[in-house]
A and B are shown apart, each in its own frame.
Chain A
Amino acid sequence: MNRAPHKSAQAASPHLLARHRAGRLWKTGFSLSILFGLIALAALLFNVIDQSAGLLVTANKVDPSTLAEKPLEELSVKELTQILKSNLSNNRIKTIERNGVLMGRTQAELLELIDEQIVKPEVIASYHLFESLRHETEIRQQALGKNPDARIEWKIWLNWHFLTNVMSSNAQYAGVRTALLGSLFLIAVSILMAFPIGVGAAIYLEEYSDRRLRINRIIQTNIDNLAGVPSIVYGILGLAIFVRALSPLTSGVIFGVEGGNGRTILSAALTMALLILPVIIINAQEAIRAVPSSLRQAAYGLGATRWQTIWHHVLPYAMPGILTGSILAVSRAIGETAPLIVVGAATFITQDPNGVFSRFTALPIQIYNWTTRPQPEFRNIAAAAILVLLLSLLSMNAVAILLRNKFSRR
């Protein structure tokens, strides 16, 4: 009676073939979406890496061989100090000695100082990585043809000096230490503010609020909408409230900090906390809602109070999801530039942040600043700073993922 699925019967079913064909078509479409994403990512990485290394052509303002009879590397600390003192003005020496007297420094540090202050190599041209690799000989010939004294070297802009140096108006000596520390400070303070408040709000909305009340539905709608508000708007809010209105608090004046204004890490972190709060709340709510009701019932059935149920069962179960959501929020915050510009991040600052009341700059601010400079070598350090930003983002996410896995190990 029933037809056996013979091969011939199958072949004679054009409808089935059409169904499979449609399925394959969709699958191809979905693969293309992934391919598109991969291409975009590859282009981004290529572009950044291409700019962050390459051939650099420089010419010295002063020939180092004219400074002393012997090569500088063979001179003692005392002789090097002497060279510095005789070639630089007293005021300049004073400025330098603010960070430590010359005699107290090592030979390597003094050599660096001489290079930076007296020899002053100027960038003539800077080439991207792949261009340099392909046309190295032409570039060398061309550069030497224009300027026989030119020094041509391979330069990887993202190096230890770049990480540990402070800002400089010369791209060769500029570093991201201040900006990196500023970003880390900023993110740490905003997480400390936003995470507990966000999770608390999510717990209230999911576990305590009565959805039949209109006010709670209005609160929910508003939080959903706040997540989509452009970040510049938060910046203006932060400027009005934290920088201006609460200036005695955010500048630290009431805590005895002298001469401060409201443009501090605290103001920026509070603004950033406001910015990521809706995202944290929504994701935490999502995670809490995903806790099976059977788990809650089991706890209530044993005579647990609502809070015991939340603390011992709902939160631990929801924590991986809450952390995932918070990672997303923090990733957004670390790259935010607009609100920081508005609340007054400094663009040129050489002092490390030393507390929540200090002035600051942040990585995206530096990157933005450097890309707007006309000299091409600043684009190289901007690319290097982007790599620093990406790497710090990756390592922060890695920590968060480790935390998440620790919570979800059962």
Chain B
Amino acid sequence: MQTTLDQQDHTPIIEARDTHLYYGKFRAVKEFDLKVQPRKITAIIGPSGCGKSTVLRSFNRMNDFVPSFRLEGEVLFHNQNIYAPEIDPVFIRGQIGMVFQKPNPFPKSIYENVAWGARINGIKGNMDELVERTLRQAALWDEVKDGLKNSALSLSGGQQQRLCIARALAVQPEIILMDEPCSALDPIATLKIEELMRELSVNYTIIIVTHNMQQAARASDMTAFFTMDEDRAGIMVEYDQTSKLFTTPRDQRTEDYITGRYG
């Protein structure tokens, strides 16, 4: 039993293989390989402009909306290349949810924010239950249960971000991508989100982009460090367990960055 579980744990749920990312002629991120473990929190850190967000968005084809974007190589989700021509990006985004840098709830009621994604994805069943369950999962239920009909815009920034997480959970994805989810929040709201991530990682795979190294160190299991090379293209320098990467980095550039000697 133990061995199967172990093996499962080491089969990546999503994996970038020999991937290059381009905007037009500009190579934004040079070849990288990244195997993301299921039900773990994987952090992507690095200086501004190194392509962290581009990498994250290539995992659920959100870059498709940038007309000049191009990807070489493959991104395998359960061993299926999500950039294969027969794959529908809409389906992929239903499986791999996303939480953005700035809380962006819909200008509708709290209830509608959670229920909408589930409804358009054709999820049937008791919607009230689903809304309550996902709001509980996102640690927001107790704060909003008396005002589900209120506008989502009446919530505080931290609450809005947790609502966005609940909204993503309601679609029942396997992976949640988070693009600097705490950069617009105060430290207390940030801590709440981090706690929440920890709880969610029991059931979900989380990939988080952050420019806050303490956050990566505190909240993640695995960390990938990206930086820029001489021609301004992003490169992946090191990918390891968070504890190892922050204590005994193998690469000089990683060490410079985490000790604050870089930028």
Q: A-facing mask of B97-132, CB < 8 A → 1, else 0?
A: 111101011111000000011001100000000000
Residues of A close to B60: CB separation below 8 A: 301
Question: B206 to nearest A CB, angstroms?
Answer: 15
Does B167 reach chain A (CB closer than 8 Å)? Answer: yes
Alpha-carbon gap, A408 to B163, bound state (A): 22
Stretch at the interface among A5-13, A88-96, A292-300, A322-330: A292-300
CB closest residue in chain B, given A408: B107
Does B263 reach chain A (CB closer than 8 Å)? Answer: no
Q: How large is the interface on B (under 10, 10 to 19, 20 to 34, 35 or more residues)?
A: 20 to 34
Contact B120 A312 (CB under 8 A): yes
**Contacting residue for B120 out of A210, A294, A302, CB 8 A:** A302
Residues of B close to A303: CB separation below 8 A: 90-91, 93-95, 97, 117, 120-121, 171
Does B168 reach chain A (CB closer than 8 Å)? Answer: yes
State whether A297 and B62 are in contact (beta carbons under 8 Å apart), knowing that A302-B94, A410-B153 are contacts in the complex: yes
Question: B20 to nearest A CB, angstroms?
Answer: 22
Alpha-carbon gap, A296 to B104, bound state (A): 10
Question: B56 to nearest A CB, angstroms?
Answer: 11
Question: A318 to nearest B CB, angstroms?
Answer: 12
Question: A216 to nearest B CB, angstroms?
Answer: 12
**Contacting residue for B90 out of A210, A212, A294, A305, CB 8 A:** A305
Alpha-carbon gap, A296 to B98, bound state (A): 13
Contact B120 A301 (CB under 8 A): no
Contact B93 A294 (CB under 8 A): no
Contact A410 B108 (CB under 8 A): yes
**Contacting residue for B106 out of A210, A212, A305, A313, CB 8 A:** A313
Chain A contributes a number of interface residues (CB within 8 A of B) equal to: 20
Does A308 reach chain B (CB closer than 8 Å)? Answer: yes
Does B151 reach chain A (CB closer than 8 Å)? Answer: yes
Please provide the chain A residues from 255 to 298 with a CB less than 8 Å away from any CB of chain B in the complex.
292, 294-298
Alpha-carbon gap, A30 to B22, bound state (A): 50
Contact A308 B120 (CB under 8 A): yes
Residues of B close to A313: CB separation below 8 A: 106
Contact A302 B153 (CB under 8 A): no
Q: A-facing mask of B138-175, CB < 8 A → 1, else 0?
A: 00000000000001010000000000100110010000
Contact A300 B120 (CB under 8 A): no
Contact A317 B107 (CB under 8 A): yes
Please provide the chain B residues from 59 to 99 with a CB less than 8 Å away from any CB of chain A in the complex.
60, 62, 65, 67, 90-91, 93-95, 97-99
State whether A304 and B90 are in contact (beta carbons under 8 Å apart), knowing that A210-B67, A297-B100 are contacts in the complex: yes
Contact B97 A298 (CB under 8 A): no
Contact B62 A295 (CB under 8 A): no
**Contacting residue for A300 out of B65, B108, B164, B167, CB 8 A:** B65
Alpha-carbon gap, A9 to B173, bound state (A): 65
Alpha-carbon gap, A124 to B167, bound state (A): 78
Question: A119 to nearest B CB, angstroms?
Answer: 66
CB closest residue in chain A, given B152: A410
Residues of B close to A297: CB separation below 8 A: 62, 65, 98, 100, 104
Question: A393 to nearest B CB, angstroms?
Answer: 31
Residues of B close to A308: CB separation below 8 A: 120
Given contacts A304-B90, A304-B120, 11 further A-B contacts (CB under 8 A): A294-B100, A295-B104, A297-B98, A302-B97, A302-B117, A302-B120, A302-B171, A303-B94, A303-B171, A313-B106, A410-B153
Query: Chain B: residues with CB nearer than 8 A to chain A?
Result: 60, 62, 65, 67, 90-91, 93-95, 97-100, 102, 104-108, 116-117, 120-121, 151, 153, 164, 167-168, 171
A-B pairs with beta carbons under 8 Å apart, 19 shown: A212-B67, A294-B102, A296-B65, A297-B62, A297-B65, A297-B98, A297-B100, A298-B167, A301-B60, A301-B62, A301-B93, A301-B98, A301-B100, A302-B120, A303-B94, A303-B97, A304-B90, A308-B120, A312-B120
